[in-house]
């Protein structure tokens, strides 16, 4: 029979995982390693990438800093989240605000140290990342356009350190990044539409609050149309091979998102769209495995040799 103390510890641990969004961090780690293996380091063997200590430190630094970012965002958004996410807020409350802040500073320090183990440049990058996350949570997210762009950049930024580490500056990477940037920005606007009541109640001047729900929807449609540009360009790269089926799927889903966005008016409808885009991005992470079958075979063969 479990004791009250054991139950309390379980709830606190579960609450902490909710605050730092453990699922998102696991997906981010998988995305970083898959991108490192199949996009950023085409000429390196699987063994060299997996056992690259500097890559490992960069991923650990990212885990710590992204987790701390979720904590500080949770700290500043507690009033809005009571309206937007009452169940999650109740779960998150098992961990005291003082504990969250202490953990925030500890994780940032550990993340900075892991960056320092790579180089002073990596440490500076992560220091900048820490500051930008805090500044976004404290100030920028209350401003419609700057907050929207910053949130999108902060989502992509963890891959920048991996990208610089491997020094792979191929065009296909920038095109893929542009596609992700547009999809993530669409997701951010939909998330703002989903949370518009909490934003209004707490004087958050988010994109839909500032420009209106209709204009926010028009912006989503424009961004979705723009996604067709990188998709069309990527189809001309033979190396994407089976990943082209992901872009077929993505095109179909994004067209659906566009039509359903204009129909949507309720929180649950926006939540559905938000979750669909999250799923699309998750599928995109694992579709990296199919980017070039010869590349996968070469890497496996190099491990066996």
According to the model, what pLDDT value does residue 92 have?
Answer: 64
| % of the chain at pLDDT higher than 70 | 85
Angle, CA 14 vertex, CA 8 and CA 16 arms, to 5°? 100
How far CA 258 is from CA of 103, 145, 176, in Å, comes to: 40, 20, 20
- Residue 17: partners with Cβ closer than 8 Å, 6 or more residues away: none
Report the mean per-residue pLDDT for the chain. Answer: 83
- Asked whether 194 and 267 are in contact (CB, 8 A), the reply is yes
pTM given for the model: 0.86
How far CA 13 is from CA of 6, 90, 269, in Å, comes to: 11, 14, 31
Long-range pairs of 251-256 with CB within 8 A, sequence gap ≥ 24 = 253/280, 254/183, 254/186, 254/224, 254/227, 254/280, 255/224
Distance between CA atoms of residues 223 and 183, nearest Å = 8
Q: Which of 1-10, 30-39, 130-139, 232-241 has the lowest mean pLDDT?
A: 1-10
φ and ψ of 167, to 5 deg: 55, 45
pLDDT tens across 201-235, in order? 777 788 888 889 999 999 999 999 999 898 888 88
Higher pLDDT among residues 165 and 129, named by residue: 129
Element (H, E) at 53: helix 53-76
Q: Which of 117-121, 131-135, 155-159, 286-290 has the lowest mean pLDDT?
A: 286-290
pLDDT tens across 46-92, in order? 778 888 899 999 999 999 999 999 988 888 777 776 777 776 666 66
Higher pLDDT among residues 242 and 106, named by residue: 106
304 pLDDT more than 50: no
According to the model, what pLDDT value does residue 1 have?
Answer: 46
């Amino acid at each position: 029979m479990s004791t009250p103390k054991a139950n309390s510890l379980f709830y606190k641990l579960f609450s902490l995982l909710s605050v730092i969004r453990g699922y998102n961090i696991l997906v981010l780690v998988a995305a970083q390693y898959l991108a490192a293996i199949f996009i950023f380091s085409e000429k390196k063997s699987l063994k060299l990438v997996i056992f690259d200590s500097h890559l490992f430190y960069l991923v650990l630094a990212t885990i710590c800093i992204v987790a701390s970012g979720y904590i500080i965002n949770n700290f500043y958004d507690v009033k809005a989240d009571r309206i937007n996410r009452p169940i999650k807020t109740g779960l998150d409350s098992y961990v005291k605000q003082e504990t969250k802040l202490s953990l925030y500073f500890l994780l940032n320090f550990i993340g900075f140290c892991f960056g320092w183990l790579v180089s002073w440049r990596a440490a500076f990058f992560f220091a900048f990342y820490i500051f930008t996350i805090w500044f976004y949570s404290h100030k920028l997210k209350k401003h419609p356009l700057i907050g929207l762009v910053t949130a999108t950049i902060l989502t992509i930024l963890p891959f920048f350190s991996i990208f610089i580490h491997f020094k792979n500056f191929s065009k296909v990477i920038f095109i893929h990044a542009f596609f992700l940037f547009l999809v993530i920005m669409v997701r951010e606007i939909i998330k703002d539409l989903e949370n518009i009541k909490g934003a209004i109640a707490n004087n958050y001047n988010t994109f839909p609050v500032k420009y209106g729900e209709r204009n926010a929807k028009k912006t989503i449609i424009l961004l979705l149309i723009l996604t067709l540009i990188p998709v069309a360009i990527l189809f001309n790269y033979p190396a994407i091979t089976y990943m082209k089926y992901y872009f077929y799927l993505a095109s179909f889903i994004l067209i659906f998102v566009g039509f359903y966005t204009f129909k949507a008016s309720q929180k649950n409808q926006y939540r559905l769209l938000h979750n669909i885009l999250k799923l699309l991005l998750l599928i995109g992470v694992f579709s990296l495995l199919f980017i070039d079958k010869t590349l996968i075979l070469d890497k496996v063969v190099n491990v066996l040799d």
